[in-house]
Structure 1
Amino acid sequence: MTDTVFSGQFSGQIDLHCHSTASDGILSPTELVSRAKAQDVTLLALTDHDTVAGVREAEHAGEAHGVSILPGIEFTACWGRRSVHVVGLNVDCSSMSLQQGVAVRDRLRAERAEQIALRLEKRGFTGALSGARSFAGDGVIGRPHFARWLVEAGHVPDTAKAFKRYLGAGKTGDVAVAWPDLTETVATIRAAGGAAVLAHPLKYGLTRTRLLGLLTDFRDAGGQGAEVVCGRQNPVQTREVLSLLERVAADGRGLLASLGSDFHQPDQPWRELGSVRLPAGVEPIWNLWQTDAEMVSG
């Protein structure tokens, strides 16, 4: 495992899922940390999609602002025929395992971007690939970059319409990708010294039976946590996740609770940094590092 980020009890807000310009976020890592500080976040995990390129900058900003930065990543993986997201927390960014996982996804994302652009070009949207790249910059290219270009080019009024008409499930830009499978992805994170957390379990549109199967398979693959809260959600949704986690833990092998805003941009208050809390009575994922610290000091 990487060096312990913190020990003992923590004051302030904790946010373990957010994005910067290194993937599909609007703010640079430095701007993101500055905003987190303004929101009283004291422990922040930068979890960009399939890259750790922004972590070093975030760490430097964290030192300047007094925000502890947990190095992280949000890997895309396959569970059967479905794409799911796995957050890796407290990873060693220099790990060969992690770098290989990133390299595989770089190739897959580049191939997908070319296919999306080709499909959009056939619909008459000339310059889609270069347009999306202009928004991605040096970051990982994804569908949100195509959405922003479609807005800028005047093809749609906003990014929501871009996904509804062209980029969402079953639409022109919905290109299937053979991402590394769930077990391999968890192994990559664990080999990098990190903890694997299933991101936003309620966002996959699964029945409760299927979601229980996903959580169980994730745990059996070596996953250590699940996001009980991701962005602002109503209490009913939180209770649904907790109920499923109780069932997963029925044999004595459960998953720890994680949380995050899934912040991407400032004009989405339901995803504001530091805006979410874990319910009382759950064991948080950060106990892993608190325990490590106590063992070292003891």
Structure 2
Amino acid sequence: MGTIDLHTHTTASDGILSPEELVELAAVRGIEVLGITDHDTVAGLPAAQSAAAHRSVKIVPGIELSTAVETGEVHILGYFIDPADPVLQAHLASLATARRERAQRMVDRLRQLGIPVTMEDLEAIAQGGTITRAHAARLLVARGFAGSIDEAFERFLGRNRPAYVPRTYPSPRRAVEIVLAAGGAPVLAHPLSAGDPETILGELVPVGLVGLEAWYAEYAPEIQRELVALAARWGLIPTGGSDYHGPGFRAERELGSVDVPRQSVDMLAARARSGRGGAATLPEQ
């Protein structure tokens, strides 16, 4: 069990635990550095930071930005961001509106398939957080229309499935620029989801990408080693995290299930600090 986990989600997006509950679990499991990286929102950061102030857990303020690509899935993690940055806030406000419109279209498609769900049902699952496909998947499982989160995606919500609704997101390049504008260190999340990582890196490294998520919980050790080597070839910081969404979400993504070296955190902080005149540090608690 590692003591650093840089990729987690709370009820502010599609996680199952509140920020306070996640911090409490991290403390119980001996996590010393916890990255809060909710999808397209920073709403969970204040509560997580407040909870961590009373425990031996240091919070890395982060975000996971969704992007639009032809194939695969490219997400950009931002570490040591300034949550109040106006460029970031403007992007998130626009995205929140687009996400809600997408959620309504998803509900409409599910109802056309004979599945009686409503926006109110989705909102109840989301508990005030950003509505995502994961919430729809949990709703389908709860109503007995799917046996698991994976089945819900495979049958209804995945790309080219009957309830899938295309997303309105920025390009990966723009996501990197948004993280940089917020004073953060941009990192390519779960790079194998991107299709050909080399192609994506060729596009994003020149515009400021600084890291690659090599120690990802769902990747086998040999794949993780290959990604560490890939990061080295491109001069990137190897990072890692569980992508933990809460108990019962996906067994492979258990909190603290990867072993991330402290050097990675220090290098991310240094890169963010160099971009904002010396402000990025882990808080003393």
**TM-score (normalised: structure 1):** 0.85
Question: Match for 1:181: what amino acid?
Answer: S
The yes-or-no answer on 1:262 pairing with 2:243 is: yes
Of 279, 283, 286 in structure 1, the residue corresponding to residue 266 of structure 2 is 286
The yes-or-no answer on 1:231 pairing with 2:213 is: no
Distance 2:232 2:60 in 1: 27
Aligned to 1:55: 45
* SS class of match (2:52): helix
Shift of 1:285: 4.7
Shift of 1:178: 2.9
Distance 1:260 1:110, change over 3 A: same
Question: What is the number of equivalent residue pairs in this alignment?
Answer: 273
* SS class of match (2:68): strand
* SS class of match (1:93): coil
Within a 5 Å distance, the mapping from 1:38-77 to structure 2 comes to: 38-77=28-67
Distance 1:122 1:242 in 2: 45
Of 207, 216, 227 in structure 1, the residue corresponding to residue 202 of structure 2 is 216
Counterpart contact for 2:189–2:213, Cα < 8 Å: yes
Question: Match for 2:252: what amino acid?
Answer: W
The yes-or-no answer on 1:132 pairing with 2:132 is: no
The yes-or-no answer on 1:276 pairing with 2:258 is: yes
The yes-or-no answer on 1:189 pairing with 2:170 is: no
Moved more, 256-265 or 224-233: 224-233
Counterpart contact for 1:128–1:146, Cα < 8 Å: no
Distance 2:201 2:116 in 1: 42
Distance 1:243 1:263, change over 3 A: same
Shift of 1:235: 2.0
Q: What do the CA deviations read for 1:236-260 (whole angstroms, capped 9, x no partner)? A: 211331343344x2xxxx2111111
Residue ranges of structure 2 left out of the alignment (5+ in a row): 280-285
Task: Give the % identical residues.
Answer: 38
Shift of 1:223: 0.9
The yes-or-no answer on 1:24 pairing with 2:4 is: no
Aligned to 1:9: none
Counterpart contact for 1:88–1:196, Cα < 8 Å: yes
Distance 1:161 1:272 in 2: 20
Of 94, 109, 122 in structure 1, the residue corresponding to residue 99 of structure 2 is 109
**TM-score (normalised: structure 2):** 0.89
Distance 1:217 1:98 in 2: 21
Distance 2:214 2:146 in 1: 34
Aligned to 1:120: 110
The yes-or-no answer on 1:84 pairing with 2:66 is: no
Shift of 1:49: 0.4
Aligned to 1:7: none
Distance 1:195 1:146 in 2: 31
Counterpart contact for 1:261–1:272, Cα < 8 Å: yes
Distance 1:82 1:146 in 2: 20
Aligned to 1:240: 226
Distance 2:54 2:159 in 1: 41
Instruction: Name the larger-Rg structure.
Output: 1
Distance 1:81 1:106 in 2: 23
Distance 1:127 1:233, change over 3 A: closer
Q: What do the CA deviations read for 1:109-131 (whole angstroms, capped 9, x no partner)? A: 11211111111111111233221
Within a 5 Å distance, the mapping from 1:148-167 to structure 2 comes to: 148-167=138-157
Q: C-alpha root-mean-square deviation of aligned residues, in Å?
A: 2.2
The yes-or-no answer on 1:178 pairing with 2:158 is: no
